[in-house]
Amino acid sequence: MITKKVVLVGDFATGKTSLIRRYVDNQFSDDYLTTIGVKISKKIVLFHAAQLEMEVQLMIWDIEGHTDGKPTNPAYIMGAHGLLIVADVTRDSSLDNIGAHIEACRKVAKGAPIFLALNKSDLIKDSNELAVLIQGLKNRHEQIELVYATSAKEGTNVENVFIELSQFMITKR
């Protein structure tokens, strides 16, 4: 079995913990729980690629959110095989900080793929607005491999973003 470290990075209250809980346990809670330090969850996924069946154990690191007074600890990012930056589509400040998160990740986890989860997408009712936002972020942040509009509350694209990131880590080593 192959083990891969996936780190979720982003501002506080963007839904990093909620995305992990939805993916690992298929649960969601409206209660806000602040992550202090790091919490690691495990998920085993089975892949079928090129007539090869492979088990991959994801070690998913939920790290405390970035704030102006407390930047992301680079030690948490070190050794990551894949990174998922999580932004809250309803908070401009979390969208504005995507570039800083990319820079922090690139300094420590050189070469690891970076995906972007635009979380709380269920709160944007205009699908055109969401599509324009996604395209603008793709254009502005070329280092991001894929952008997903996610909703931990509704489960939208949660499994897809983790599976796609896992496949990318395995096939693009």
Residue 62's Cβ-side half-sphere holds a number of Cα atoms within 13 Å equal to 21
CA distance 97 to 157: 22
- If you ran DSSP here, which 8-state letter would residue 129 be given? H
43 vs 75, which has greater pLDDT? 43
Number of domains in the chain: 1
For the stretch 138-166, pLDDT in tens is 999 999 999 999 999 999 999 999 999 99
Give yes or no for a contact between 17 and 152, defined as CB atoms under 8 angstroms apart: no
The pTM is what? 0.92
Of 37-51, 91-105, 127-141, 150-164, which range is least confident?
A: 37-51
Q: Is the pLDDT of residue 49 over 60?
A: yes
Q: Could you tell me what percent of the chain has a pLDDT over 70?
A: 91
CA distance 78 to 173: 17
Pairing of strands 114-119, 52-63: unpaired
Domain range holding 56?
2-171
- In one letter, which amino acid is 42? K
pLDDT band at 5 (very low <50, low <70, confident <90, very high): very high
Which stretches within 109-149 are classed as H helix? 127-140
Tally of helices (H runs) and strands (E runs) in the chain: 6, 6
Within 64-123, strands assigned E span: 82-88, 114-119
CATH number at residue 162: 3.40.50.300
CA distance 51 to 138: 32
- The pLDDT assigned to 25 comes to 95
CA distance 159 to 173: 21
Q: What is the mean pLDDT of residues 76-86?
A: 96
CA distances for 55 relative to 7, 71, 146, 153, 159, angstroms: 19, 34, 23, 28, 16
